Structure 1
């Protein structure tokens, strides 16, 4: 697999200059791991009532941490629970059990506490057209957050600065424009500016380039990386595209049916994936280290009927091929539930991986 990352950002008017204003540069990866998480979920569970009196286990025990100045990709197929995790991290969903902490403090769910938190953690949606009111100008769209939070001083300068940081320059050129007058990439930059205007410390981006043309995806991804590097922002990027994660993330958490099944650095996960589900996802990338593409059979089970044992076992290529049987873990795959991955360290949740690790001498 090639390790080339996306090129430097280019905005609507050519290469983008350095971000204006003071910058709090992101710490290097080793320093990020040594400090307290910017945002974390502890034993997070979110359940919903489903028709027929059933219960959907949308998030079923998740431990995840976002380190200061880090971009964490939350990846998996549609319906795996990653968007519910993102919404819960933002306080838009209340967990059934477990806690969300921001800089070590548990998130409060009172109106005042949530309003204060949302100055620090902002959401970027995947559909900029749906996120913007067609009757509001760009200025009003970006200024909305300031007005909600009662920030009235220097509004014009704050809006102009946010638009400039998002790559829309000169900012004043866009003040009176309406969303329908902008390109898809420009609309997404307005959405990002609306998040930046409150000077948050965390951004959660839900499929931030899914609705954009391929020609502008790289620009938006490069913009998010520059915001991380120049402003010290931390970001969770929800995606089904591991190629996107390869380009932008420092770490990847792979989700399947409400659980994280593998988490680690982007280089480790995408060059040496261990979980059979992750291997299948990585196998379809160009120059994949896994070899030929692996096609998973069937669809992910319904969250109201999570299989026993390993929840991936009905679709697992290692079980279907006899590899799990040869390793002596086939029965465990079908019957023994795996523990929730712990917080704060790289790990893989798989009976086969555990068997392989047990077979390797400690000094190997």
Structure 2
């Protein structure tokens, strides 16, 4: 692997822009069944001008965590703060918050109304929030920042007249038009061709550098994290199991789960680690390390040799706090 292409350290303030502390999101079970702990004690900080990648398999809770940070899902317990102020869940407060924190969805085709022109799609947020300035100028500036130039050429186009990359740029322009401080991008390039993925990632980096824009990028792809992130948080079954700078986590992974995710990348030097089974049901979280039933280190006997096998199966692991760290008895 080669260093991250951003080429410079992000301008990160000591006080986080967005912070989650002890966040839990529990969904009640059906017909009185056990509750599902989708997010189960998460601490996470995002600094100004910082890109954080939240990585994990499908079903690990990363999208629920992202939605709770956006205020779309109210946490069962814990706290989200933005700019040092606790997030309020009144309608007025959430409306104001969503001007400052915007969502970029995975599938641009599903995000855009096929009956709306590009101009309508980008200007929608301005109209919802009662923008008092020059709407046409604001839409043009957002499209230009998203790489659609000249912007007026795209005003009257419909989504079906655009390429996949252009549609994703329209979605990004719709987020930018309100001047947010942070965007949450859920699998932002998963539906795009490989030739276009690099362009969109480069765009997000450029927006970070030019606007000081922060981002939480939700992905299952550690390769994407390497190319765009300043820090990485690896999530498994509702908890962060490893976090640190992109270099710390992706060049010297300590958690067996992180090692397994990295082993399937094309750049990996060794054989891929095939994880057995699916992540456990969040209504039946296992004792001990949550990963132990699928752990290659436990299966190979390495944990036994290190004298931690019993701890892996039954020992309680503390919730991983802020900053760099790993939640693993063996590591």
Q: TM-score, normalised by structure 1?
A: 0.88
Equivalent pairs counted in the alignment come to 330
Which residue does the alignment assign to 2:321? 342
2:35 matches 1:36: no
Give the one of 92, 98, 116 matched to 2:96: 116
Which residue does the alignment assign to 1:127? 107
1:174-205 Cα offsets, whole Å, 9 max, x none, are 00001111111100000000000000000000
Q: 1:6 to 1:180 in 2, by over 3 A?
A: farther
Give the one of 189, 194, 198 matched to 2:169: 189
2:308 matches 1:329: yes
Q: Is the CA contact 2:28–2:34 (under 8 Å) kept in the aligned structure 1?
A: yes
Which residue does the alignment assign to 1:265? 245
Which residue does the alignment assign to 1:24? none
Shift of 1:7: 9.4
User: SS at the partner of 1:191?
Assistant: helix
2:203 matches 1:223: yes
Gap regions ≥5 residues in structure 2: none
Q: Is the CA contact 2:17–2:45 (under 8 Å) kept in the aligned structure 1?
A: yes
Which residue does the alignment assign to 2:220? 240
CA distance in 2, matches of 1:7, 1:42: 29
1:346-361 alignment runs, 5 A limit:
346-353=324-331
Give the one of 249, 258, 262 matched to 1:278: 258
CA distance in 1, matches of 2:165, 2:29: 37
Q: Is the CA contact 2:6–2:228 (under 8 Å) kept in the aligned structure 1?
A: no
Q: Is the CA contact 2:38–2:282 (under 8 Å) kept in the aligned structure 1?
A: yes
Q: Is the CA contact 2:70–2:101 (under 8 Å) kept in the aligned structure 1?
A: yes
Give the one of 295, 318, 327 matched to 2:274: 295
2:76 matches 1:77: no
CA distance in 2, matches of 1:4, 1:299: 32
CA distance in 2, matches of 1:244, 1:103: 27
2:153 matches 1:173: yes
Q: Is the CA contact 2:4–2:229 (under 8 Å) kept in the aligned structure 1?
A: no
CA distance in 2, matches of 1:269, 1:28: 17
Shift of 1:4: 5.4
Give the one of 111, 118, 121 matched to 1:138: 118
Which residue does the alignment assign to 1:12? none
Shift of 1:6: 5.7
CA distance in 2, matches of 1:340, 1:244: 26
CA distance in 2, matches of 1:342, 1:236: 18
Which residue does the alignment assign to 2:73? 93
User: SS at the partner of 2:297?
Assistant: helix
CA distance in 2, matches of 1:328, 1:238: 35
Gap regions ≥5 residues in structure 1: 9-26, 354-364
Shift of 1:336: 1.3
Give the superposed CA RMSD. Answer: 1.4
1:196-215 alignment runs, 5 A limit:
196-215=176-195
CA distance in 1, matches of 2:280, 2:40: 14
Shift of 1:28: 3.3
CA distance in 1, matches of 2:119, 2:217: 26
CA distance in 1, matches of 2:16, 2:125: 25
CA distance in 2, matches of 1:273, 1:7: 21
User: SS at the partner of 1:162?
Assistant: helix
CA distance in 2, matches of 1:65, 1:170: 37
CA distance in 1, matches of 2:230, 2:87: 25
1:201-242 Cα offsets, whole Å, 9 max, x none, are 000000000111111111111100000011000000000000
